[in-house]
Chain A
Amino acid sequence: MGHRIDQIAAALGGEAFGAVSIEITGAAEPAQAGPDDLALAMKPEFVAGLADGRARAALIADGMDWQALGLEAAILVRRPRFAMSGLTRAMDAGPGIAPGIHPTALIDDQAQIAPGAAIGPFAVIAAGAQIGPRARIDAHAVIGAMAQLGADALVLAGAKIGARVVVGDRVIIHPGAVIGSDGFSFVTPEKSHVEAARESLGKEDLRRSPQSWTRIHSLGAVRLGDDVEIGANCAIDRGTIANTEIGDGTKFDNLVHIGHNVKIGRDCLICGQVGMAGSAQIGDRVVLGGQCGVSDNIVVGDDVVGAGATKIYSNVPPGRILMGAPAVKMETHVEMYKALRRLPRLTQTVAALKKAISNDRDGD
C-alpha cells in the first residue's frame, strides 16, 4: 500500500515540496533507500547518504535545500524527532488482528462486546466484561470478569486483565502484561519483627515468638486512564480497598512492577525494570529511568526525574532531579562520586602526611 508524499506531510504536520503525488511504500535510511522509499535524512550526517541510495523523496529538516540534494520531492519538518511519531503512525502495519471475533475465542454470554471490536484466536472474555468500541484483543489474551476495556484499546498477545480492572480509551497493553494481580499484602497476629525493625531502624531483637503470615485480600482493582501504555510483562497489583491507579497518558516500558495501592499521575514515563512498592504516590510527568526503585508509602512530586537505577527511599519535592542510591539531587550525587573517586588518593595523602608528622617528631 502506497502513501502519497502530500498525505504523509499532512499526517506529520510537515510541508510537502516538489512532486508531491509520488507514492512511497516504506521508510529507509538514505543510503539504503530504494526508489519507492521515503529516505529519512533529517540529520546532517544522514544527508550524505542520499547520494548512495536511490530515494526520490526524503524527509528533511527545516532549512535544508531539497532541490540541491537532487530530490524529486521532499517533506520539510520543524522538529524531526516529533515528525517520527506521525510518520511511523502512518506506516505502522500494526499487529495484524483480523476484524471480528475469531471462532476459537471463548466469550461468556454475559460479556458485552461493542461494535467494531476485534477478538483474536483463543482469547477469553469472562462474564460481565465490557469491551469498548473498536477495541482489539490479540490471541490468548484474557479479559477477567466485570473488567472494562475502553474504546480503541489494544490488548496484545497473552496479556491478562484481571477481574474488575478498568482500562481507559486508546490504552495499549503489550504481550504478557498482567493488570490486576493480587497485592503482596500479609500480616501477623502480633507485631512482627519487620514492624519492629522499621521502628528501631535496624536494632535486632530475636525474642519474638514465631508467627506465620496471614493474607490480606485485595478487594480493589486497577484503573488505567486513557492513552496509557503498558510494556511487555509488566505486573500491576490491585489495591487493597481502593484501586491502584495509573493516570492518563502515562507510559510504562517492559518489566515494570507496581505494588498495591500505588497512585501514579498523568503523563509519566516509567522505564524498564522500575519497581514501586505499595501505596507509593507518584505525581504528574514524573520520569523514572531504568531500574529505579520507589519505597512504599512515600510521595514523589510532580515533574521529578530519576536517572537510571536511582533508589528513592523518602518523599521527593516537585521538580527535583535525582540520582543514586539512596537518591540525592543529581548535582549532589556527582559531587559525592567525585569525592568517592578521589578517596584512594586522599588516603595516600593522609598516610604521607602522618608519616611526615611522625618523622618530624622523631627529628625533634
Chain B
Amino acid sequence: MSNSVRDQVVAILADQALMAPAEVSDGAELADLGIDSMTLVEAIFRIEETFDIQVPFNANAPTESEFDISTVASIIAAVEGLIAAQKS
C-alpha cells in the first residue's frame, strides 16, 4: 500500500469506521461512515500520532474548528496543510 497522506488518512478513518479502505470515498461525510463525535476524537489522535502534527480541533464543537472535517477529502487537505505548516 502506498504511503501517501491520503492513503494513511483513509486507512485511519476506515479503521475507526470498521470498513475496508476501499469503501471510504473522498466525498464521503463522516456521518456516512458512521463516525460519531467520540470516534472522531480517536481518529484525530491517530492522525496526530501518525503524522506527528498537532490538529487544532474543538471536540465539543467540531464544526467550529479550523480543521475542516466536513468530508474525507477536506480532512486529507487539512492534514496536508498542517504537515506543510508544522514540518517547515
Contact = CB atoms under 8 A, between A and B. Distances in A.
Interface residues of A, number: 8
A342 B44 CA distance: 11
A334 B45 contact: no
B52 A341 contact: no
Contacts of A208: none
Contact of B41 (A331, A337, A345): A337
B49 A338 contact: no
Interface string B37-73: 0000100010011001010000110000000000000
Nearest to B45: A341
State the majority secondary structure of interface residues on A: helix
Contacts of B54: 342
Contact of A342 (B41, B48, B60): B48
B45 A345 contact: no
A334 B52 contact: no
Contacts of B59: 331, 334, 338
B45 to A, nearest CB: 5
Nearest to A349: B52
Contacts of B45: 338, 341
Contact of B52 (A330, A337, A338, A345): A345
Interface in A337-359: 337-338, 341-342, 345
Contacts of A338: 41, 45, 59
A54 B57 CA distance: 48
Interface in A291-347: 330-331, 334, 337-338, 341-342, 345
Contacts of B60: 330-331, 334
B35 to A, nearest CB: 16
B83 to A, nearest CB: 15
A330 B60 CA distance: 9
11 contacts: A330-B60, A331-B60, A334-B41, A334-B59, A341-B45, A341-B48, A341-B49, A342-B48, A342-B54, A345-B48, A345-B49
Interface of A: 330-331, 334, 337-338, 341-342, 345
Interface of B: 41, 45, 48-49, 52, 54, 59-60
- 9 closest A-B pairs by beta carbon, nearest first, are A334-B59, A341-B45, A331-B60, A334-B60, A345-B52, A334-B41, A342-B48, A345-B49, A338-B59
Given A341-B45, A342-B54, A345-B52, 15 more contacts: A330-B60, A331-B59, A331-B60, A334-B41, A334-B59, A334-B60, A337-B41, A338-B41, A338-B45, A338-B59, A341-B48, A341-B49, A342-B48, A345-B48, A345-B49
